[in-house]
Amino acid sequence: MSQYDEEDYINEDEIPEFHDEGELDDYLNDEEYDLMNQVLPEVKEGMKDYHGWTTFNLKLAILDTDFGSKEALHNLRKHYKKKKNNVDNAMGNLKISAAPTPTPSPTPASLNKTKKSVPSKSTKDDIDILSDDEDEEDASSRHWVKEEVEEKIIKAYKRAAQPTKPRNPIDVKQYIDTQAKPHLNFVVLGHVDAGKSTLMGRLLYDIGAVDKNKIRKLKKESEQIGKGSFHLAWVMDQTTEERERGVTVSICTSDFKTPAANFTIVDAPGHRDFVPNAIAGVSQADVAVLSVDCGTDAFESGFNLDGQTKEHTLLARSMDISTIVVAMNKMDTVDWSAIRFYQIQDELMEWFKKIGYKEDQIKWVPLSGFSGEGVYKIPYPEEQNWYDGPSLVETLETVATKVNVESRKEVLDKPFIFSILEVTTTKKHDESILAGKVESGSIQPGETITIYPSEQSCLVDKIIAGREQEATSIAVKGDFVTLKLRQSHAKDIEGGDLCASVGYDIKSARKFKIRLSTFQMNRPLLPGTSVMLFRGVYEQPARINKLLTIVDPQDPSKVLKKKVKHLPSNQTAVVEIELTERRRWIPMVTIDENKHIGRVIIRKDGRSVATGAILEVE
């Protein structure tokens, strides 16, 4: 490796891809062949404590390190598992990949350099050999980058047994300690017409994520169809239907950053018919911003039985949203009345406590989304002299820092899991683009992931993130990113599918056992009842197969009742559920494996009737 010189590099593109040992042997000239046979026994001896390799793998490694037995051994040992290794290790070679690399700690400068090199790579079509992008880099860093020969191209639906190394490994721990700014995903909830989209449009505009010209254009367009006050909402609502009707239908994500933190907004629809989309929105968020219309009677109509304020907060609670920031919106319409503010606060707090939130999990900010006071930097008007707390953005920044500390823990200790929101194809036949969220762990370009339920293993070619859609060298838990994959079959990937690092299996099933906590319902759940099952963006008709036991909500291991004939409101029970559309299985993660995606929501006749924790996947 150290003897690597310019000429070798030029030749490199000509090294063919070997499919078996014979091909490789044929490629070598006599001298190299002898050299190979000399080095091989040495390497074999060194590898006998490891498993999973073949002579062919060894030969490739030797060739790759230019017949240096030590380097080859070093690389191989990192790549393969030691025999009799403990279970813990089996989960993530991911960790190994990052931790023991004796790379001189990546200074910001070198990091930048790697980043720059990434886009250039995309122009090259062959990614067979990892070392193709190291033209300008110095010898020492090249040494660590050029580690491993890629595995053979994985055939359709064959799962990879071995993980691959990142192309430009980054020390994950160091990255999250030093490099990463706090990142927060928040969903905007609230009753229809509570001004969610307008608030988000305002936020993006004031922060500078949307430029003035665009707002001016939207304003003109909205005035043309007589909906002048909707121009800020149109930043988020883009389809013709949404604009003409003035309601948000589907979820819309958008990124922005402040000096203190990076944010991803998920704007969710408020209309009751689109609660399924709101569920998808909540599933992607860490915290929720609840927009409340403080206008006269408006709060009340959103808060009564049919209003979505209650259903949305209940969903947030069910899906483990830790903090709710209540945006007391449209305060300008009630002249910033403190009385109104506290009256609504009291009523809402009572409800929050009822569904299990504590006072310190709820933050309150009076504001006006339309005119912008209390959102970012626009000061409150004179009438408002009773609140001197932080603005909405400041509150979110504080929350981001808090959430960040907790979520970072899961980056290192947990395997990589990614939930897919959307799949797009490109002209290249084996390339697919997945947009989604990293649920746990971390990912770097060059690593191999397996997609469930199609169980295809793909190579992560590129990770794209942020508002400007820049390529990045790492994504960690909580990040919204787009993965560009190679060796994939996009037609068998759907929104809602899960990806995981190689070695971590996700079960797919049509039947599973869940612990269901029912809300207030007007019809009980019976064996055979048809319901709709939601998990993130997944939406599937399902049927309750069996009611197994009723358990104590406080202590689920305590069985209260064994014979259950029907399941009424406000009970916790273990039930078996089956998907009724036989077309496709869905990958499921139990609540113990991941408390975020191990949850489902059950709806029936247009109402959310229960929340469930997945206990067992058959």
Partner 1 sequence: MKLLNQSGSLKFKDGAALQLQPEDKEDLFTLYQLIDQDDELIFKKRFTSTVDADKRKKTTDMVKLRIQVISREFDMKDEFLRYKGSTVEDDTGKTNHNIAAGKFISYTISYAFAFTLIKKNFDDYARNILKQACTPEAKADTAAIVLQEGVAHVCVLTASSTILKQKIEYSLPKKKTSTDIMKFDEKTEKFYKAIYTSIKKNYDFSKIKMILLCSPGFYAKTLYDKIIAYASEEQNRDILDNEDMFLVAHSSTGYLQGITEVLKDPVYASKLQDTKYSREANIMDDFMKHLNDDDYKAWYGEKEVFKAAEMGAIDELLITDILARSPDLAQRKKYMDLMESVESTGGRAIVFSTLHISGEELDRLTGIACILQYPLPDLDEGLDYEDEDDEDGDAQSV
Binding footprint of partner 1 on the chain (CB under 8 A): 238-241, 245, 249-254, 271, 273-274, 276, 421-424, 435, 467, 469, 494-495, 521-524, 526-532, 541, 543, 545, 550, 561-568, 571, 581, 603-607
Query: Residue 308 is encoded by which pair of tokens?
Result: 């979505």
Q: 43-56: buried (b, 16+ CB within 10 Å) or exposed (e) per residue?
A: beebbeebeebeeb
Our CB check for partner 1 shows the closer of 195 and 201 to be: 201
Our CB check for partner 1 shows the closer of 381 and 527 to be: 527
C-alpha 474/C-alpha 411 separation (Å) is 12
CB of 435 to partner 1, least distance (A): 8
HSE value, Cβ hemisphere, 13 Å, CA-based, for 575: 28
The closest alpha carbon to 201, from 146, 165, 140, 242, belongs to: 242
Our CB check for partner 1 shows the closer of 93 and 611 to be: 611
CB of 420 to partner 1, least distance (A): 11
C-alpha 170/C-alpha 97 separation (Å) is 9
Cα 501 from chain centroid?
A: 14
CB of 273 to partner 1, least distance (A): 4
Our CB check for partner 1 shows the closer of 138 and 241 to be: 241
CB of 606 to partner 1, least distance (A): 3
Our CB check for partner 1 shows the closer of 98 and 232 to be: 232
Our CB check for partner 1 shows the closer of 160 and 610 to be: 610
C-alpha 434/C-alpha 258 separation (Å) is 26
Our CB check for partner 1 shows the closer of 45 and 273 to be: 273
Question: How far, CA to CA in Å, does 559 sit from each of 112, 193, 318, 324, 563?
Answer: 57, 44, 22, 33, 11
CB of 119 to partner 1, least distance (A): 17
Cβ(554)–Cβ(506) under 8 Å?
no
Our CB check for partner 1 shows the closer of 228 and 541 to be: 541
Residue 207 backbone zone (phi > 0: left; psi -120 to 50: alpha; other: beta): alpha
C-alpha 111/C-alpha 104 separation (Å) is 12
Our CB check for partner 1 shows the closer of 273 and 592 to be: 273
Kindly state the DSSP code that residue 611 receives in the 8-state scheme: E
Question: How far, CA to CA in Å, does 66 sit from each of 28, 36, 39, 60, 73?
Answer: 12, 10, 11, 10, 12
Cβ(359)–Cβ(349) under 8 Å?
yes
Query: Residue 318 is encoded by which pair of tokens?
Result: 């069910």
CB of 18 to partner 1, least distance (A): 38
Query: Residue 74 is encoded by which pair of tokens?
Result: 């070093």
Cβ(287)–Cβ(321) under 8 Å?
yes
Our CB check for partner 1 shows the closer of 63 and 485 to be: 485
Our CB check for partner 1 shows the closer of 335 and 605 to be: 605
CB of 408 to partner 1, least distance (A): 27
No. of H helices and E strands in the chain? 18, 26
- Distance between terminal CA atoms of the chain? 49
Question: How far, CA to CA in Å, does 97 sit from each of 79, 166, 346, 463?
Answer: 8, 8, 52, 18
CB of 610 to partner 1, least distance (A): 14
Supply the DSSP string of 417-475, one letter for each residue.
EEEEEEEEE-SSTT-EEEEEEEEESEE-TT-EEEEETTTEEEEEEEEEETTTTEEES-E
CB of 71 to partner 1, least distance (A): 44
Our CB check for partner 1 shows the closer of 120 and 580 to be: 580
CB of 17 to partner 1, least distance (A): 34
CB of 473 to partner 1, least distance (A): 22
Per DSSP, what are the bridge partners of residue 82?
50
Our CB check for partner 1 shows the closer of 32 and 422 to be: 422
**Burial of 567 by CB count in 10 Å (0-12 exposed, 13-18 middle, 19+ buried)?**
buried
Query: Residue 196 is encoded by which pair of tokens?
Result: 């969610």
Other Cβ atoms within 10 Å of 130 Cβ, number: 20
Query: Residue 519 is encoded by which pair of tokens?
Result: 């809300």
CB of 439 to partner 1, least distance (A): 18
CB of 563 to partner 1, least distance (A): 5
Phi then psi for 551, rounded to 5 degrees?
-120, 165
Our CB check for partner 1 shows the closer of 257 and 607 to be: 607
CB of 594 to partner 1, least distance (A): 23
Our CB check for partner 1 shows the closer of 170 and 421 to be: 421
CB of 573 to partner 1, least distance (A): 9
